Structure 1
């Protein structure tokens, strides 16, 4: 049976989606000229990053979306991490921007740069990859390592995008890139579980409903002393850390 368009099945969701979309675009247009100024020089990019964080805070505030972030330990804003999370919804990206105090770059798909204005901002602040191009994947890994060397954290969704067809189960095995760069640079991986973003945002229609965004931030997993031979074990450890709280939240078991 064909899925009903949420705007038609529930007009309130449609109205709310238009409301949040207005503020998402509106605040972006207000802040973009200032972001553009700061993007012109590498020494001022941090200020553009801060404006993106302000944009995220304004969007969630005007959208009446609340957060419950439970952390196993406080995130050190001066520490360089490789952040890894499940990716079930486009809402994950602004949520990440809001909750993290660190200076970071996303590793995201290259097609985003085609979006007017936003694509330019995203491509200047983040690292883009064409996952179907081996050369692009290799270049992305090299750029990510340079970012880590310059004391900038990396956010990566190691499933390789919104790829799961069976929420709340993540796609597996996870891609190796996040773990390879963390081991090479000997920086900790910090797993994050977004428990319910996919229930609040319908990515098929970009429909959003109000609610409580629930996030679990786990303790960092150290990579000091690990080699690339340890990658499979590290990858599985991170997968379990992210996946289990999501399954617990939804009351389902890990598949055998």
Structure 2
């Protein structure tokens, strides 16, 4: 009986392997499914460790989560080439902003996440099963994107927390995932926060995933991701009137870096700093 089940299992795995080789759609679905399952299982196993070591919700748990997630890249054949980590070494809190491409960004985030750093995420992620639990335990700051007044109140509290706890805060200024190989126009919330708290903005840029990951083409293979942490942009002395200029400056710098890391020609940008040819993310 057991031998029969083993034979059936081997046959199913063989068939799945053949289908993955023949069909990009099947290959993509299986790899994404495995990634999601890995996130759920890893979160379930890591959550008790966080509770035992640190006793509950705290940004200190990110060290444990980071150690677990950094193993994922070996299962998916991803390699990271990182430059500029020394730019995280600022005295006191800071706002870290980076481009946001896909659900795989978590691997890139945990590859370089500095100590004592909290992330800002949409509130819906809190209800994503064990993944929601583990990011809650990791001190992630949840924002209701559908209620602007609520989001502003949260960001105001974040500014106070940065000042009192000396934490860095990681924000995706595009506001949503975007796998076009370009940047979406930046929302200004992170930059208002930086000016309000008078802390530096540290831009982080990941090269485009489009050579190995593209949902529209059912592409998900191994690949290399270049990451560059850019020098901090100071905000001391700036006022809310300077936020637009700060946002545009950061956008231009990050977009030029994105194209350089991705091996593409330097982009054309409008005077406002927004892309002239951006398309909605997928």
Once the two structures are superposed, residues 160-192 of structure 1 have per-residue CA deviations (whole angstroms, 9 ceiling, x without a partner) of 122x58x222111x2111111111111110001
TM-score by length of 1: 0.83
Q: How does 1:36-51 map to 2 (within 5 A)?
A: 36-38=51-53, 40-41=55-56, 45-51=58-64
Residue 244 (1) aligns with residue 256 (2): yes
Which residue of structure 2 lines up, in the alignment, with residue 233 of structure 1? Answer: 245
Alpha carbons of structure 1 residues 134 and 22: separation in structure 2 relative to 1, 3 Å: closer
Residue 32 (1) aligns with residue 47 (2): yes
Contact 2:59 2:116 in 1 (8 A): yes
CA drift at 1:67: 0.5
Structure 1 unaligned residues grouped into runs of 5+: none
CA root-mean-square deviation: 2.9
Q: How does 1:1-256 map to 2 (within 5 A)?
A: 8-9=23-24, 13=28, 16-17=31-32, 20-21=35-36, 23-38=38-53, 40-41=55-56, 45-71=58-84, 73-76=86-89, 79-124=92-137, 125-149=139-163, 150-162=165-177, 164=178, 167-172=180-185, 174-202=186-214, 208-248=220-260, 249-252=262-265, 253-256=267-270
Alpha carbons of structure 1 residues 98 and 184: separation in structure 2 relative to 1, 3 Å: same
What SS does the aligned partner of 1:197 have? coil
Once the two structures are superposed, residues 61-91 of structure 1 have per-residue CA deviations (whole angstroms, 9 ceiling, x without a partner) of 3433210112284421764220011112222
What SS does the aligned partner of 1:88 have? coil
Alpha carbons of structure 1 residues 254 and 247: separation in structure 2 relative to 1, 3 Å: farther
CA drift at 1:239: 0.4
What SS does the aligned partner of 1:178 have? helix
TM-score by length of 2: 0.76
Question: C-alpha separation between the residues in 2 aligned to 1:140 and 1:123?
Answer: 15
Alpha carbons of structure 1 residues 15 and 86: separation in structure 2 relative to 1, 3 Å: same
Count, aligned residues: 247
Bigger radius of gyration among the two = 2
Contact 1:24 1:59 in 2 (8 A): no
